[in-house]
């Protein structure tokens, strides 16, 4: 089955800095890669996703890049703000399954 | 508004009690899931359903059971609660496409004393 590794587990940055979270996956058949943000005490919510036929996708201050050859994908947040503080989860979904495999999460702390 | 709803939000019960956590979605999704999560920690899949009368166990062994009699409703039952069941339980659903994201409910925070 699919295995997703996510790093780092904790990331601390100053407001205005950039933050990068990386995930690797094992199943070369995986073709859908969503990212979820979970604020303290709230539910995980989709913030951006990418499909395997695309190398990069941007939405304002966040972007996701995908390297299918190396089997890794990354979340990039620019000009971080305190409200970006949350736990971020990456996931990968294999073409043969509806079940996503989640990474263990990254706790991002943005210091004002 | 189309969403996924969980009740109760918080529940404190004694050991040995039977409980049912409710989950309903109004998005017409076929796929539904239950995750167990300690605050800010990993998401562990405990049950999923591909549609009415379809239920499967997830990766994490759980003493809970689920049912899917109606598309919109996916309740989770614990026959005899134990302190080890103390956790947050998140229900989710997704559309019938493999590139559809999960929509999560607000969760039920369960404490078993």
Q: What is the pLDDT of residue B45?
A: 96
| Chain B residues close to A97, C-beta within 8 Å | 98
Q: CA of A37, closest CA in chain B: separation in Å?
A: 11
pLDDT confidence band for A98 (50 / 70 / 90): confident
Nearest to A98 among B43, B98, B107 (CB): B98
**Average pLDDT of the residues in A2-25:** 97
Q: What is the pLDDT of residue B59?
A: 83
CB–CB contact B105 A43 (8 Å): yes
pLDDT confidence band for A109 (50 / 70 / 90): very high
Q: Is 90 exceeded by the pLDDT of residue A96?
A: no
Higher-confidence residue of A90 and B1: namely A90
| Chain B residues close to A38, C-beta within 8 Å | 40
Handedness of CA A9, A10, A15, A18 (dihedral sign): negative
CB–CB contact A45 B104 (8 Å): yes
Nearest to A102 among B43, B101, B107 (CB): B43
**Contact of B34 with B91, CB cutoff 8 Å:** yes
**Contact of A110 with A81, CB cutoff 8 Å:** yes
Q: What is the pLDDT of residue B86?
A: 96
Interface test with B, best of A99, A102, A104, A107 (most B CBs within 10 A): A99
Rounded to whole angstroms, the Cα distance separating A90 from A24 reads 9
Rounded to whole angstroms, the Cα distance separating A65 from B45 reads 26
B40 → chain A, closest CA residue: A87
B75-98 confidence digits (pLDDT tens):
999 999 999 999 999 999 999 887
A92 → chain B, closest CA residue: B99
Rounded to whole angstroms, the Cα distance separating A90 from B13 reads 33
């Amino acid at each position: 089955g699919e295995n997703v590794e996510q790093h780092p587990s904790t990331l601390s940055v100053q407001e205005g800095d950039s933050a990068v979270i990386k995930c690797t996956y094992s199943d070369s058949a995986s073709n859908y890669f969503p990212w979820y943000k979970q604020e303290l005490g709230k539910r995980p919510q989709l913030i951006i996703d990418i499909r395997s036929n695309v190398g990069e996708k941007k939405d304002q201050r966040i972007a996701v890049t995908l390297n299918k050859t190396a089997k890794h994908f990354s979340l990039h947040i620019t000009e971080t703000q305190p409200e970006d503080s949350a736990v971020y989860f990456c996931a990968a979904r294999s073409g043969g399954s509806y079940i996503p495999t989640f990474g263990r999460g990254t706790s991002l702390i943005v210091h004002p | 508004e189309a969403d996924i709803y969980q009740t109760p939000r918080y529940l404190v019960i004694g050991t040995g009690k039977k409980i049912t956590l409710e989950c309903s979605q109004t998005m017409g999704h076929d796929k539904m899931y239950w995750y167990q999560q300690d605050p800010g920690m990993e998401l562990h899949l405990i049950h999923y359903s591909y549609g009415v009368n379809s239920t499967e166990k997830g990766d994490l062994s759980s003493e809970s059971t689920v049912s899917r009699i109606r598309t919109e409703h996916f309740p989770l039952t614990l026959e005899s609660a134990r302190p080890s069941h103390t956790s947050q339980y998140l229900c989710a659903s997704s559309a019938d496409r493999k590139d559809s994201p999960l929509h999560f409910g607000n969760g039920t925070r369960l404490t078993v004393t």
